[in-house]
């Protein structure tokens, strides 16, 4: 079962802090979905340990200019998918540098607005 | 007085690496005290290509090209996602044949990792022995699918090639031979002096840290964290064919090797059960429609959980294909494991991670 819950950008930290229990929920990844040239859906995806396909997605709809809060204080391993999101969509995630995936001379933010 | 540190890179090209990745180690004498990683050397833009260049019914073959070692897991995950969106029902026989190839793939991938881990301990003969035996698995795969690596075996609605009695018998025979050899490896990895010296107590990950870094695959299971997607999905009947979760303790190189060896034995057992109880019927069901909506699909690749997020809009071109690969998820855990280890052990530790940069930088 996949559950998708919309939240506001200002509620991200508070929501994930109250939801995430490291021995119950497994953080899968951070995902971006381009909605149009200016708008992006950012998803935080979790699955429950040892449960049959129990997936929870928290998501926000934001513009590309919005600063996305970092969840690495709560989930240290999120740093890698935060940096991927920065490279692939050209967004700003608090404390996440660009350049993990893409070199300066390669195509930049390749997934920004590409699906439409 | 502050201690002096020196920076030593490992990669992007290094004798112990099969693919380009760079770890920059900050060392105090021989001890690693800081780690920085760079994984973006072979980015190929597959996710973008999936939503701009290819129609949904061909992407299963495109994503198989992400990685030679787990091609089947990529095409399987994508295909299962599309089948979910299209509400397609595939036959039991197709499901069994898919599991057969998935498990054969796991066997040869784990053998590759074990051979390189042995090589990193200076045990060249063991490396050659395992690689030689791995060749038998590659031949089984060729017998089943027609190809050794890029199988193109799975398609939306089922599989592309049936198996006859003669082939099934030959595969069962080869697997029985391999099973005996694996028991020999277990003996060797458990008791060989040089392998023990190099692997036991080296490169450990605690259970607490496995949870903290959301570790997956053999890396997590060796630390005692019971996470295996085969235990958490119902679109393939793994429980029917005898799946058993393999976990270890201590999370060191030796524990990772042991988990992989036990998983090979379990995979052989599952393959034998599939061949004995293969259901009758068609291998392919025609699927109509175009994908609409979104879904998350996961599969257990040899290195751990592989995730696909697929979003369709009822056209032939998908809106989004997100691929989260196992090695990618484990990079933070890898970096932590290196801390306080000797630099001289870094190649063996890295080999025991079984990293796949081809997948990571898709």
Q: Which of B40, B211, B331 sits opposite A22 (nearest CB)?
A: B211
pLDDT in tens, B304-356: 999 999 999 999 999 999 999 999 889 999 999 999 999 999 988 988 999 88
Identify whether A113 is part of a domain.
no
Interchain CB distance below 8 Å, B332 and A34: no
Beta carbon pairs, A and B, within 8 Å: 96
Number of compact structural domains in chain A? 1
Identify whether A28 is part of a domain.
yes
Interchain CB distance below 8 Å, B212 and A77: yes
List chain B residues with CB under 8 Å of A37: none
Question: What is the extent of the structural domain holding A24?
Answer: 2-93
Identify whether A115 is part of a domain.
no
Tell me the mean pLDDT in the region A89-115. Answer: 84
Q: Where are the domains of chain B?
A: 44-336
Interchain CB distance below 8 Å, B232 and A47: yes
Q: Which of B45, B309, B319 sits opposite A110 (nearest CB)?
A: B45
Rounded to the nearest angstrom, the minimum Cα separation between A18 and chain B is 16
Rounded to the nearest angstrom, the minimum Cα separation between A115 and chain B is 5
- Phi-psi domain of B251 (left: phi exceeds 0; alpha: psi -120 through 50; beta: other): left
Q: How would you write chain B as a 3-class SS string?
A: CCCCCEEEEECCCCCCCCCCCEEEEEEECCEEEEEEEECCCCCCCHHHHHHHCCCCCCHHHHHHHHCCCCHHHHHHHHHHHHHHHCCCCCCHHHHHHHHHHHHHHHHHHHHHHHHHHHHHCCCHHHHHHHHHHHHHHHHHHHHHHCCCCCCCCEECCEECCCCCHHHHHHHHHHHHHHHHHHHHHHHHHHHCHHHHHHHCCCCCCCHHHHHHCCCCHHHHHHCCCCCCHHHCCCCCCHHHHCCCCCCCCCCCHHHHHHHHHHHHHHHHHHHHHHHHCCCCCCCECCCCCCCEEEEEEEEEECCEEEEEEEEEECCCCCCEEEEECHHHHHHHHHHHHHCCCEHHHHHHHHHHHCCCHHHHCC
Cα angle vertex B311, ends A38, A73, to 5°? 70
Identify whether A45 is part of a domain.
yes
B44-336: which CATH number, 1.10.1040.10, 3.40.50.280, 1.10.645.10, 3.30.70.250? Answer: 1.10.645.10
Q: Point out the least confidently predicted range of B36-45, B86-95, B135-144, B273-282.
A: B36-45
* CATH code (residue A19): 3.30.460.80
Q: Which of B51, B233, B331 sits opposite A80 (nearest CB)?
A: B331
Identify whether A106 is part of a domain.
no
Q: How confident is the model at residue B13 (pLDDT cuts 50, 70, 90)?
A: confident
Q: Point out the least confidently predicted range of A57-61, B149-153, B212-216.
A: B149-153
What is the interface pTM, i.e. ipTM, of the complex?
0.95
Among chain A residues, CA nearest to B304: A28
Identify whether A41 is part of a domain.
yes
Residue B321 pLDDT: 95
Residue A114 pLDDT: 63
Position A116 pLDDT exceeds 70? no
> Closest Cα to residue A82, out of A11, A32, A37?
A32
pLDDT in tens, B262-284: 999 999 999 999 999 999 999 99
Global pTM? 0.94
Identify whether A15 is part of a domain.
yes
């Amino acid at each position: 079962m996949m559950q998708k819950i919309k939240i506001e950008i200002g509620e991200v930290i508070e929501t994930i802090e109250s939801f995430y229990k490291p021995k119950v929920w497994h953080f899968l990844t951070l995902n971006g979905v381009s909605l149009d040239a200016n708008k992006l859906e950012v998803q935080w995806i979790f699955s429950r340990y040892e449960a049959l396909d129990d997936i929870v997605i928290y998501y926000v709809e934001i513009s590309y200019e919005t600063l996305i809060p970092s969840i690495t204080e709560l989930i240290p391993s999120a740093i890698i998918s935060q940096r991927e999101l920065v490279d692939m969509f050209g967004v700003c995630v608090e404390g996440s540098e660009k350049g993990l995936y893409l070199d300066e001379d390669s195509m930049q933010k390749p997934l920004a607005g590409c699906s439409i | 007085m502050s201690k002096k540190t020196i920076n030593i890179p490992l990669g992007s090209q290094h004798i112990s690496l099969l693919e380009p990745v760079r770890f920059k180690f900050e060392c105090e004498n021989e001890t690693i005290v800081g780690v920085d990683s760079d994984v973006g050397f072979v980015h190929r833009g597959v996710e973008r290509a999936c939503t701009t260049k290819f129609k949904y019914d061909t992407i299963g073959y495109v994503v198989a090209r992400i990685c030679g070692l787990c091609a089947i897991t990529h095409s399987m995950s994508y295909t299962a996602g599309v089948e979910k969106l299209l509400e397609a029902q595939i036959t039991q026989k197709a499901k069994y044949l898919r599991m057969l190839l998935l498990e054969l793939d796991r066997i040869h991938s784990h053998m590759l990792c074990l051979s390189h881990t042995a090589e990193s301990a200076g045990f060249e003969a063991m490396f050659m022995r395992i690689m030689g035996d791995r060749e038998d698995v590659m031949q089984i795969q060729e017998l089943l699918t027609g190809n050794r690596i890029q199988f193109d075996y799975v398609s939306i609605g089922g599989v592309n090639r049936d198996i006859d009695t003669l082939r099934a018998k030959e595969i069962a025979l080869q697997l029985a031979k391999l099973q005996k050899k694996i028991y020999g490896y277990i003996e060797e990895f458990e008791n060989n002096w040089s392998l023990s010296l190099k692997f036991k107590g080296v490169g450990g990950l605690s259970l607490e840290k496995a949870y903290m870094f959301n570790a997956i695959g053999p890396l997590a299971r060796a630390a005692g964290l019971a996470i295996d997607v085969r235990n958490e999905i119902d679109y393939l009947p793994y429980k029917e064919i005898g799946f058993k979760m393999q976990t270890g303790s201590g999370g060191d190189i030796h524990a990772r090797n042991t988990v992989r060896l036990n998983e090979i034995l379990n995979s052989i057992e599952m393959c034998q059960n599939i061949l004995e109880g293969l259901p009758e019927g068609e291998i392919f069901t025609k699927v109509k429609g175009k994908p609409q909506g979104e879904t998350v699909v996961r599969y257990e690749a040899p290195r751990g959980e592989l995730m696909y997020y697929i979003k369709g809009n009822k056209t032939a071109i998908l809106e989004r294909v997100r691929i989260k690969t196992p090695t990618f998820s484990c990079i933070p855990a890898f970096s932590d494991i290196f801390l306080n280890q000797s630099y001289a052990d870094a190649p063996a530790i890295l080999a025991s991670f079984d990293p796949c940069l081809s997948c990571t930088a898709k």
